[in-house]
Structure 1
Amino acid sequence: MMTPRRTVVRHAPGKLFVAGEYAVVDPGNPAILVAVDRHITVTVSDTGTRSGSAGAAVVISSDLGPGTVPWRWYEDRLVPCGADDDGRARGAFAHVVSAIETVGRLLTERGLSLPTLSVSVSSRLHDNGRKYGLGSSGAVTVATVAAVASCCGLKLSADERYRLAMLATARIDPKASGGDLAASTWGGWIAYQAPDRAFVLDLARRIGVDRTLGAPWPGHSVRRLPPPDGLSLEVGWTGEPVSTAALVSDLHRRSWRGTASHRRFVETTNGCVRAATAALEAGDREGLLHQVRAAREELARLDDEVGLGIFTPRLTRLCEAAEAVGGAAKPSGAGGGDCGIALLDAGASRDISHVRQRWATAGVLPLPIRPALEGIEE
């Protein structure tokens, strides 16, 4: 058995949306996210031969995927070895494969070769295969970019890692905001605005990945925020997994964009996010709670008008339980299931216990999740 020449391990945290869902998919609209202390781990080893050699160029395995799959390069794409139909394997490993391909393009542009790699993925964003909606696709993309780049000798800034992950993600889903990528990259509480993904993809095609990393990205912004003063972030899982991409696509199919309802939703949501950002920066606890409630109300209005199913009965009960003790709560992300969040008085332990008990009675599982202060880790 060949001894790996170099092995790199990277851990990327998951995320939760605090405010700004749906509006953030449009470039320049703000959102607030928080990284959480559940991680994706990606281990990458240089197996000691070059990618031009016979056999697999990359071997990918995951505790969530279809076992171990060897891949070979075909032009600038990875395809499974010996498979006539790569649909299942490519679907299962889509974000890992796209991340490797994107780093591969950067290496080629810099006159470097990609070694043969062994890539292993393990997840704490799932439990026995159960999906919690904590941004696993974003975390695995960031961790793969960081691990592969480091294994290949590339020294990247946090911004460059995010940008490579955004390019890799946009190739799969151009509607993805990339907020999960930013949370996984920088960690903590962040204010985020998405770039124009169509623009940056076209830019990468025209001038290459390397130059695109250093070019202006219209609409994009990210900065760290202080954590909320005196508030505890509580997370409840509804037991109902949901696809964010499917819900966002469903909303777009309903010809909602460009309507008066769409304009009102974006304007109101943006106002809530900006006010919540200011409250975090000022340490204004009551102001933050007020804006989180307002963001929930705007999501509920959207749900009533469009009928997406953002608010399930369990998410509604999750919010009601937190409101009953003076807290603020809302779905986190696209809704329709997955997780809800609540901000509760950190000093009121009895109220926190009461909310958790009410959640359990309503079929909502309280998750022992806390904010992750740091992003991608070695």
Structure 2
Amino acid sequence: MSNEEETIVAKAPGKLYIAGEYAVVETGYPAVVVGLDQFVTVQIEASTDMGSIQSKQYQENSLYWRREEGQLVFDNRDNPFHYILSAIHFTEQYAQERGLRMRIYHLKVDSDLDSADGKKYGLGSSAAVTVATVKALGKFYKLNLTKPQLYKLAAIAHLAVQGNGSLGDIAASVYGGWLAYSTFDHEWLKAAQQENDLTTLLDMDWPGLQIELLDPPANMQLLIGWTGSPASTSHLVDQVTESKDEEQSESTYQQFLQDSKACIKKMVKGFKDGSLATIQKGIRVDRKLLRKLGQASHVNIETPILTKMCDLAESFGGAAKSSGAGGGDCGIVLIDKSIDTTQLLQAWHDNGIEQLKMNVHQVED
């Protein structure tokens, strides 16, 4: 084949949660999430005898593999590439269901989503690398994946490793831009995986799954502040999940879910009406809801430095809150573009908060 020597390149953007965190892990509870113009890039080149997986972020842990009876066999015992491997496993399973011959290749990963010294910003690098790997292999094997298929295949691969979460970061990495997102019924998927092959699963409607592209108001600006302290999303979500099972917390949690859904619905309407004021009001309501949830769950969602970041932004007319699981990482501000933010950003800097100079990315069709 003449085109076997070409290099396949696929990119997937990072993400930020704007609102609806924690509630979004439950089926049918929406969140607003955004794709950013910082990417994970995956390159694939065909090989003959030995394949490899390499990452600029993990130079000392490059992974080499062979094929034995169609399966990838690894030489390294321990590796940091779980999401990439899961993405390869499920994409190749799908390709094999389509009757395609498995090939050998070198896969290289590079990421903009962490700081130069390797600190995580909380921008969904594990989701982006999963999506970029599925996307690249989709091109390599000529699978012609649609965006819904890409989302579902990457979601299955990511869930196989992480075990929890809403997969909203996968949606942001597939679609980019501003999204209203509700996750699918995870228990349904577990059962459906027992009874269906991937080809069938990818073409099914997944109960509860909703992904809707949103247009932001023309006068809205997104600012991102990084606190310098990475947080573990899986760990924080686990803590909230454990606390909700306690009897006195159950009613508080259910109330939080209902309040969050009502808040996000109003916020989405704000996007549709082009109303920055409505969206900002939603951000402020959601911040209060998350702080209340944190207190009830004994989880430090809004850390003192995030509180400082948000309060400073509010004093300059912005609407601010923690982003994602909280506990550190990033906070977001939605502010009118006409407001001069120079003094705000200086105040952040003086308080050890770094502005991440990233823009919203709109994925091309």
TM-score by length of 2: 0.94
> Structure 1 residues 260 and 116 mapped into 2: Cα distance closer, same or farther (>3 Å)?
same
Counterpart residue number, 2:62: 68
Aligned partner letter, 2:10: R
CA separation in 2, counterparts of 1:159 and 1:24?
19
Aligned partner letter, 2:74: P
CA separation in 2, counterparts of 1:77 and 1:259?
45
Contact 1:170 1:197 in 2 (8 A): no
Q: Secondary structure at the match of 1:241?
A: coil
Q: Secondary structure at the match of 2:15?
A: strand
Contact 1:204 1:212 in 2 (8 A): yes
Aligned partner letter, 2:41: T
Q: Deviations over 1:227-280 (max 9, x none)?
A: 133121000000001110111112222244770011011111111111100101
1:366 has 2:359 as partner:
no
Counterpart residue number, 1:52: none
1:191 has 2:180 as partner:
yes
CA separation in 1, counterparts of 2:71 and 2:253?
38
CA separation in 1, counterparts of 2:9 and 2:295?
45
Aligned partner letter, 2:250: T
Q: Secondary structure at the match of 2:7?
A: strand
> Structure 1 residues 77 and 314 mapped into 2: Cα distance closer, same or farther (>3 Å)?
farther
CA separation in 2, counterparts of 1:306 and 1:251?
6
1:208-247 matches, cutoff 5 A: 208-247=197-236
> Structure 1 residues 76 and 24 mapped into 2: Cα distance closer, same or farther (>3 Å)?
farther
Contact 1:40 1:124 in 2 (8 A): yes
CA separation in 2, counterparts of 1:237 and 1:165?
27
Q: Deviations over 1:339-367 (max 9, x none)?
A: 00001110112xx1121111111111011
> 1:75: how far off?
7.2
**Identity among equivalent pairs (%):** 35
CA separation in 2, counterparts of 1:4 and 1:67?
27
Counterpart residue number, 2:282: 291
Contact 1:76 1:105 in 2 (8 A): no
1:230-309 matches, cutoff 5 A: 230-256=219-245, 259-309=250-300
CA separation in 2, counterparts of 1:364 and 1:38?
20
1:1-378 matches, cutoff 5 A: 5-47=5-47, 49=48, 56=50, 58-65=51-58, 66-72=60-66, 78-81=72-75, 83=76, 86=77, 88-89=78-79, 92-128=80-116, 129-256=118-245, 259-349=250-340, 352-374=341-363
> Structure 1 residues 348 and 366 mapped into 2: Cα distance closer, same or farther (>3 Å)?
same
> Structure 1 residues 304 and 75 mapped into 2: Cα distance closer, same or farther (>3 Å)?
farther
Contact 1:235 1:340 in 2 (8 A): yes
> 1:38: how far off?
0.8
Contact 2:14 2:36 in 1 (8 A): yes
Aligned partner letter, 1:44: I
CA separation in 1, counterparts of 2:46 and 2:337?
46
Contact 2:223 2:332 in 1 (8 A): yes
CA separation in 2, counterparts of 1:103 and 1:250?
32
Q: Secondary structure at the match of 1:275?
A: helix
> 1:77: how far off?
6.1
> 1:110: how far off?
1.2
Aligned partner letter, 2:99: G
Q: Secondary structure at the match of 2:316?
A: coil
> Structure 1 residues 367 and 256 mapped into 2: Cα distance closer, same or farther (>3 Å)?
same
RMSD over aligned Cα atoms: 1.8
Aligned partner letter, 2:323: S
CA separation in 2, counterparts of 1:230 and 1:340?
20
Q: Secondary structure at the match of 2:57?
A: coil
CA separation in 2, counterparts of 1:226 and 1:136?
24
Q: Deviations over 1:300-354 (max 9, x none)?
A: 11112222111111100111011112210001100001100001110112xx112
Aligned partner letter, 1:29: Y
User: Any stretches of 5+ residues in structure 1 without a counterpart?
Assistant: 50-54
CA separation in 1, counterparts of 2:348 and 2:70?
49
> 1:106: how far off?
0.5
> Structure 1 residues 197 and 76 mapped into 2: Cα distance closer, same or farther (>3 Å)?
farther
CA separation in 2, counterparts of 1:78 and 1:25?
32
How many residues align? The count is 359
User: Any stretches of 5+ residues in structure 2 without a counterpart?
Assistant: none
Aligned partner letter, 2:21: E
> 1:298: how far off?
0.4
Q: Which moved more, 1:183-192 or 1:301-310?
A: 301-310
Contact 1:256 1:262 in 2 (8 A): no
Q: Secondary structure at the match of 1:130?
A: coil
Contact 1:190 1:225 in 2 (8 A): yes
Contact 2:28 2:184 in 1 (8 A): yes
Q: Which moved more, 1:20-29 or 1:171-180?
A: 171-180
CA separation in 1, counterparts of 2:56 and 2:120?
13
